[in-house]
Chains A and B, each alone.
Chain A
Amino acid sequence: MLKKLTLRAIQLRHLVITLAVILILVGLRCIPETPMDVFPEFSPVKVEIQTEAPGLSSLETEQLISIPIEHAMNGIPHLKTLRSKSVLGLSSVVMLFEANTRIDQARQAVQERLLLVSQRLPVTAKPPVMLPSLSSLSRVLKIGLTSDRLSIQELSTEALWTIRPRLMSVPGVANVAIWGLREPELHIQFDPVKLAECQLTVSQVSQQVTSAINSEGSGYLDTDQQRLAVTYDRPTTSKEAFKDMIVGINHGIPITLGQVAEVEWHHAMPIGDAVINRGDGLLLIVEKQPDANTLKVTAEIDRALAELKPGLKEMTLDASIFRPASFIEQAIDHLKQAIMVGIALVAILLFWFLRRPGPALISLIAIPISLVTAILMLTWLGISINTMVLAGLVIALGEVVDDSIIDMENILRAVETNQSSQHPKSLLKVIVQASYEVRGAVIYATLIVMSVFIPVFFLEGIAGAFFKPLAYGYLFAISASLLVALILTPALAYCLLKSGRHISHAASPQFDLLSKWLARMLEQPKKIVFGSLIALCLLMASVPFLGSEFIPAFKERDFLMHFVSRPTTSVEQMKKMTVRASEELMQIDGVRNLGAHIGRTEVADEVVGPNFGELWVSIAPNVPYEETVQKINQTISGYTGIFTDVQTYLKERTKEVMSGNSASIVIRLFGDDLDTLRNKAEEIRQAMASLDGVIDLKVEAQGLVPQIHVRIKHAQAAQYGINEADIKQALALMSQGKVQGEILMGQSRFNVRLISNHPVRDNLMSLRKLQLVSPTGAMLQLSDVADVYVQPTPNEVKRESASRKIDISANVSGKDIGSVATLIENKVSHIQLPAGYYIKFMGEFTEQRSATQTLIAYTCLALIVVFILIKMSFKSVRLTLMLFAMLPFAIAGGVLGIWFSGGVTSLGAMIGLIAVIGIAARNGILIISNVQQQSQNSAITKEILISAISNRTRAIAMTSLATTMALMPIIFKGPISGYEIEYPLALVVVSGLLFAVMANMVLLPSLLILTKAYSR
């Protein structure tokens, strides 16, 4: 069948060539428009529900909101993990779904259950909100908004009502969270004394104001001809209009609002803040939808901002505080360069080996066609093109060209033999036959390479998300190259050779030398085998000393620093400290700009208190990377009493997705009692503190914080005629006020808030002295009718899988994460836990170990498949075993590559080892199949072995060198941006290949000689 296929391809060569040209043209047309991203979507399908519950403590929020929502959500189809976090006045329930669950189906299921549970939530809770679905690398741009002239309130109005709506309309934008917002509000600051003077109560004023500003339709006027709508004009934003509002009558005299209250524009009590560079400003964080392309979204946002700019007078927009698009562009550029340089090097290599432009060109054509086919296939299947896919294509370059080389090389040899024979056959038959001779080997070799990549498809979680696209890219490229070798290469070879020009298959003098050297080597096969075994043992013995890391550090030029103070720290104090840190950071050479957000903002992905801040800096491209990072680290780490770390966003996000925590090593302690959890967590922390390499060690801040309680003294309250509602109202109005409604101005809406003219601020004493007015008119202090006391309460309560939990987390510095994590596991396993309490190890190391175990398990399975395939190809168990014996040497070469890359096993290196196994098996097959062809079922002599190796050396050498050349740009440039994952992979592949070539060329024949396999 294959023979017929090749024959048909040659007969229909014009059609084949035309189709190939069309394919290239389609590729040239489509590929430049294909959206590219830095990484694939690596986070699982996630739905988050946030419920605001003003005034509820963290424990109340957990009991009254988080747990009912958790119970309602339990059992949703495909739900994998259910987490919740309850903080003061806010509940966040996060659901992670199994891979491949459709986000719309997940959200639909959550929405259905949410409707039911929302009716059972306490009255104080606001309606639960399902956050927009976000991409795994959700933050696509951070925009700093500052002004020398405009106030923060004015900036907030512009940001909220002009900039945000425009950015939200950009396709792919899921959310624009604004930190530092001081949304203007009209504050009605009532004077309790004046109210008493006019014999009015706050409730009366509140009722009148609410009634006046509420929008209610006034019906219709039906005339004989028309229906005319009637509406009541609500107060405008004019302060005077409010002051003239009648709020009550005293002895028949109307009392206006202005008589009892001041009306001023102000803002609500902040729940967060922002720092831009060194001072005040707003930080707009643009988040993208899943699968939205970062580059495209960023470009659209830039365009939107450019449109807005002329209208935004007297304010400065800085869209370069955090711009992952720059990193993506750079990373993709680097990989494109690697592909282009790799192709150029492969071309040079081909011309050098084949010494003729025609055959070299035919082999070279396989590269663009295979790559274009792979990219078109990936696009068609909806797999986004990212750096991992491009890395897969880079690794595949060598093998892509290999299929054509083998084919072309055999055709040339057959044609030359035919030309020198006395009865030359027709060129068509010779080419078909020559192509057919190597076809089996080529197909089996490709199938073997595909088989060894099977384990990658079984990887789960973040590892699977990262490396499956790489495997797809690789496999599509080599599948396409197989088709090219089957169809296009023979057709092109026929066209080239039909011209009648004699093309000799002259072997290079180097290959004669190689044959002679090989003959000499094979005279002492025992020494070779013995030496090889020693080398193998040495390299394998070094494996336990290798370090391990899951995902390498990315060379982003945007840095994220967590800046976390003790819970209960106020927004003002955090801002003060953040400004201090900003000033220091901005003094570092190369730090271009800074944006920081403190606390939280409404409908955003940060469920934190005011004590939590993040500082984002970006550094100039022309400053030394490592040195600047070190300076940033030194600067930020010196703030006593404040937890800090320095990360890049990509790294932080990958860790966050792995464990829900941004540290590399996470020990999650589950149990019911918060005190026990805290005590045991502290015990674990102390056990870890003494270990080398552990940095940023902390127990999750689920500590106890003071909470002020107010409890009515019934007897005293009754004496004054005060009830609980009066106290609650006074507490609300005298502290942060109550929103009465909204007023409109154009498209903008502003809250109207009723608040005391002297709100309680300073300390506990001022709260105790809070003035109350009794129904009989007596004025008294809160402490007269209520106890005001402080009790400890958890600042937050976290749950996972229906149990409370606390995280003990750490990062690793100076040592590899694997060894540190193992030490931690040993230490922690000795800690006694009460019944019902258990520990789960999570984070980067656990994810890597799980991925490695999956890889090893499925690689064993894949090797069985490979064994069966080789056995089918060779029809000899002995030869198959001989070939299998070569694979450990390829792996040993890969291990050497790991040592060259820094001695740390990353997942990229593991994938490299898999690729090496495939290529080694492939080369071995080509040699043994040639041996079998030459021996023609007779005895395999040393001469046959040397001849077979000589025949295949050029193909193998060209394949190996082509792969090496393709990866050389990555190896030479080192782990620069875009090459972080690919660099160790490239080193492993190249060194593994060199070992595999040596093993196949020297060790394999030696083994065959020693095991007497050559004499039947």
Chain B
Amino acid sequence: MLCPVFGISETISANENQFNQVALSNIAIKKLGLETKEIRLAKALSSKLYPAQIGYAPQALTHYITPFSGYVELNAKLHLGDKVTAGQTLFKIKPVVTPETRLSLLTNLSDTEGQLKSSHEQVEANRLVFNRARQLFLQHVGSQKSVDDAQANLAIAETNLNTIQQKQALLKQAVADGASGVYVIKAAKEGVISQLNFTSGQLLGAGSQLMDIVSTNQLLVTVFVPQAQIKNLQLNDAWIADRGISDNEIPLKKISLPLEADLQTGMRKVIYAASHMGELAAMQKISVNILEREPTRMALSLPCSAIVVDMYGGEWIYLKEDETHFRRERVFVSDNTSNTCVVNKPDIQGRVVVSHGAQELFALETGYTH
């Protein structure tokens, strides 16, 4: 447009927003049933979701093994998955002899029998010596000392005899039974029997893994994070937000272990301990949120139904200017939860957004109407 006096062009300035306005009559608004909602500011936590797996803490698992070969009897009250207390008898072991041992026992028995015979003879000999020494003493031929020495020798011989007799009895029994003694093994600490590898009464060799007892309050969460993202994350601020596991978020505490990589996925393992376990179980695969290193900020949340996507993927909302005017505004959805979208647009805080009917307004603006 030309200025009539100076004949120079007049500058017309126009805000782009002026082109994005829709005006509706009150009747039209009523007919459409437009619904609106205030845009509220809320603390926005920008986090990323990473895959994770539940595992046991190194100290949580106790393996029980047989110290020697023998028949293992499980405590009849215990089953897989049962809780055990510290000091509770877990099982008894009746050791068994091997053929070599048996041969050794037989040899020993034979030796013992020889020693027994020899001991008998020694006792008899000592008794004869004693009787003669006593007779001589009574006859005042011998001395008291000789009697005492003979008596002492006899007592020693009898003791030896008894010892050898006992040894012989033991060896006889060992040879007859092939085993000897019952050993009791008790729980070192409380936990849950997570694995049972034998049947009660089974003969097991030394070093066999009998059972695992897990301390259930000592699970760890291993999170797999791509190496490139480690530096962008606040690894100390992580939580589990999964309705399938718990209605509430489960905060996680990072355990300061050296970072190690998972060879299969090429990702770093970050280990966390959970404050409470909820429905978590070992080997379970979950997702963990880890906060990003951006400063904590406030963000705007609005109903997802307020957002209209244009043909190029641009996301728009309609702000209520007054009772009959609405303005289209570009937004960028940065996050979403169920039915709520978080947008980066601080200047629309407190404004009223069209939560239902945005599609019709967009249609009107793009010429799709009467």
Contact = CB atoms under 8 A, between A and B. Distances in A.
A and B from one complex: yes
Interface in A174-195: 191, 193-194
A779 B222 CA distance: 12
Given A701-B368, A706-B311, A573 B359 contact: yes
Contacts of B28: 638-640
A774 B364 CA distance: 45
Contact of A197 (B33, B49, B281, B338): B281
Contacts of B287: 771, 779
Interface in A637-663: 637-644
B112 interface: no
Contacts of B369: 640-643
Given A566-B363, A706-B313, A791-B312, A778 B224 contact: yes
A460 interface: no
B310 A763 contact: no
Contacts of A706: 309-313
Nearest to B28: A640
A765 B341 contact: yes
A514 interface: no
A761 to B, nearest CB: 9
Contacts of B312: 706, 790-792
A777 B244 contact: no
A577 interface: yes
B267 interface: yes
B27 interface: yes
B360 interface: yes
A714 interface: no
A641 B362 contact: yes
Nearest to B244: A193
Interface residues of A, number: 52
A576 B312 CA distance: 26
Contact of B315 (A696, A703, A764): A764
Interface in B297-325: 304, 307, 309-313, 315
A569 interface: yes
Contact of B304 (A197, A644, A762): A762
A771 B285 CA distance: 12
A766 interface: yes
A587 interface: no
Interface residues of B, number: 50
Interface in A773-824: 773-774, 776-781, 789-792
A764 B362 contact: no
Given A566-B363, A640-B31, A763-B304, A791 B244 contact: no
A773 B245 CA distance: 18
B360 A565 contact: yes
A778 B309 CA distance: 32
Contact of B244 (A191, A568, A769, A776): A191
B311 A704 contact: yes
B51 A780 contact: yes
B360 A640 contact: yes
Most buried by A among B49, B285, B341: B285
Given A193-B286, A642-B360, A719-B266, A580 B368 contact: no
A196 interface: yes
B285 A777 contact: yes
A458 interface: no
B250 to A, nearest CB: 14
Contacts of A637: 370
B51 A778 contact: yes
B249 to A, nearest CB: 16
Contacts of A197: 281, 283-285
Contacts of A569: 359, 363
B335 interface: yes
B305 to A, nearest CB: 9
Nearest to A777: B285
A575 B370 CA distance: 20
B333 interface: yes
Contacts of B338: 762
Contacts of A769: 49, 336
B267 A696 contact: no
Nearest to A574: B359
Nearest to A583: B33
Interface in B20-69: 24, 27-28, 31-33, 49, 51-53
Nearest to A196: B285
Contacts of A642: 360, 363, 369
B51 A641 contact: no
A118 B347 CA distance: 56
Contact of B309 (A565, A644, A776, A790): A790
Given A641-B362, A763-B341, A566 B368 contact: yes
A720 interface: yes
B11 interface: no
B368 to A, nearest CB: 5
Interface string A742-786: 000000000000000100001111100101011011111100000
B360 A791 contact: no
Nearest to B337: A762
A779 to B, nearest CB: 3
B51 A640 contact: no
B354 to A, nearest CB: 12
B336 A641 contact: no
Given A640-B32, A763-B304, A778-B224, A790 B333 contact: no
Contacts of B139: none
A705 interface: yes
A23 B267 CA distance: 98
A703 B366 CA distance: 10
B265 interface: yes
Nearest to B310: A706
Contacts of A640: 24, 28, 31-32, 360-361, 363-364, 369
Contacts of B53: 777
Interface string A559-578: 00000011011100100110
B370 A643 contact: yes
B339 interface: yes
B304 to A, nearest CB: 4
A769 B359 CA distance: 24
A584 interface: yes
A599 to B, nearest CB: 15
Interface string B133-148: 0000000000000000
B286 A776 contact: no
A196 B335 CA distance: 26
A762 B339 contact: yes
Contacts of A780: 51
A765 B360 contact: no
Contacts of A565: 359-360, 363, 368
Interface in B237-262: 242, 244-245
B267 A762 contact: no
Contacts of B32: 577, 580, 639-641
Contacts of B18: none
Contacts of A764: 309, 313, 315, 333
A683 to B, nearest CB: 13
B242 A639 contact: no
Contacts of A705: 311
B17 interface: no
A790 B24 contact: no
Interface of A: 191, 193-194, 196-197, 565-566, 568-570, 573, 576-577, 580, 584, 637-644, 696, 701, 703-706, 708, 719-720, 757, 762-766, 769, 771, 773-774, 776-781, 789-792
10 contacts: A193-B285, A565-B360, A641-B369, A706-B311, A706-B313, A763-B304, A763-B309, A763-B315, A778-B267, A781-B49
Closest 7 CB pairs of A and B: A790-B313, A641-B360, A641-B363, A779-B51, A566-B363, A792-B311, A196-B285
Given A193-B245, A776-B264, 15 more contacts: A193-B244, A576-B356, A641-B359, A641-B363, A643-B369, A701-B368, A719-B265, A762-B341, A763-B307, A763-B309, A765-B333, A765-B335, A777-B285, A779-B51, A779-B285
